[in-house]
Amino acid sequence: MKVLKIIDGRHQKWGVFGKYKIWLPDLKLIYAADFKVRRPSHHGYLKHFYTQKYANLLFEADLKLYLEVQDMNPFEYLEKCGVDRHSQIGKEFISTYVSKLIGGP
């Protein structure tokens, strides 16, 4: 299934601008996926947040949090990806989401 990059503007809700105007991601995002940035420059974390690599890592690490960041429910996400919710892939996606929602593996 295709993983969509994080939608522009989400950094405002999921982080803060700290000292020296460096954007710092919410702790939930740091623990959920790899947020290692070589040089946390003025735009270091922020650039990483919008990469396809980070979207993939967050999707794999915590599907529920990924959908929260995208501000979508699973059905909206499937529609945006062009996947029918009644297809095998759609059913697997929804069951994985529900499993994560109730605290499963």
**pLDDT interval class at 96 (50, 70, 90):** confident
Question: What integer pLDDT is reported at residue 86 of this predicted model?
Answer: 93
pLDDT in tens, 38-59: 666 667 888 889 999 999 999 9
**Taking the C-alpha atoms of 19, 27, 46 and 21 in order, what is their torsion angle to the nearest 10 degrees?**
-10
pTM confidence score: 0.83
